[in-house]
Amino acid sequence: GAGVSQSPSNKVTEKGKDVELRCDPISGHTALYWYRQSLGQGLEFLIYFQGNSAPDKSGLPSDRFSAERTGGSVSTLTIQRTQQEDSAVYLCASSRDQTYNEQFFGPGTRLTVL
Amino acid sequence: GESVGLHLPTLSVQEGDNSIINCAYSNSASDYFIWYKQESGKGPQFIIDIRSNMDKRQGQRVTVLLNKTVKHLSLQIAATQPGDSAVYFCAEMGMNTGFQKLVFGTGTRLLVSP
């Protein structure tokens, strides 16, 4: 496909469990971003990857959150010991590079922590 | 700190009317602004952008106005259609740690009645 894809589309988990969310960016895009969107809210930046540079993790809310990007392409966002306040839609976006370029968003993963 | 906010959480218009969605930003150092449209269950979709060296930019049926003096951004949609119903976010590019981190407002819901 030509767009950003994310999986799963929905994830329901129990409090305390770990979850992994996947993002496949647009082929050739070197920049990848993760955002979190709580119900009725705007998007909160989480983490940014650019090429082989060290990621900018300044938006991660706690050390339970981590992300990896393998081979400069697919990224996985991991949330350990999930809490109810982690419930949100997690959105991934990619752009051609880190300059002023449009960010293309995936459809998101809706995470519900019971 | 950086913040981007919207004046109206919900805007209801009739089909064919012109719509104006407003946004205020606080970071006077920001130099790039984007409007996104988000339909239910989907990720944000780029509509139009503007750089701080411009005060107006037009697209197809959409116009973005930037007033740097009062740090205000607006999106004008001409001849609004039912398909324009969505949540609209303004976003500000913050030059944080050398990359373009999007700071989003909370969004305005546009409801278009036929």
Taking an 8 Å Cβ-Cβ cutoff, which residues of chain B contact chain A?
4, 32, 34, 36, 41-46, 49, 51, 89, 91, 93, 96-97, 99-107
Report CB contact under 8 Å: A42, B106: yes
Each residue's pLDDT expressed in tens, for chain B with a length of 114 residues: 344 544 448 999 999 999 999 999 878 888 889 999 999 888 999 999 998 899 999 999 999 999 999 999 999 999 999 999 999 999 988 655 456 678 888 789 999 998
CA distance B103 to B114: 33
Report CB contact under 8 Å: A56, B93: no
Backbone φ and ψ for B84, nearest 5 degrees, come out as -85, -10
Strands (E), chain B: 4-5, 10-14, 19-25, 32-38, 45-51, 56-58, 62-67, 72-77, 86-96, 99-104, 108-113
**A52-69 confidence digits (pLDDT tens):** 888 889 899 999 999 999
Query: Scanning the structure block, which residue is given the tokens 């982690």?
Result: A86
- Residue A107, token pair as written in the block: 């459809």
* Contact indicator for A87, A112 with CB cutoff of 8 Å: yes
Half-sphere exposure of B13 (CA within 13 A, CB side): 22
Instruction: Reduce the DSSP state of residue A79 to 3 states and report it.
Output: strand
Q: Closest approach of chain B CAs to the CA of A86, in angstroms?
A: 18
Pick from B68, B28, B32: which is nearest to B49 by CA?
B32
Report CB contact under 8 Å: A105, B44: yes
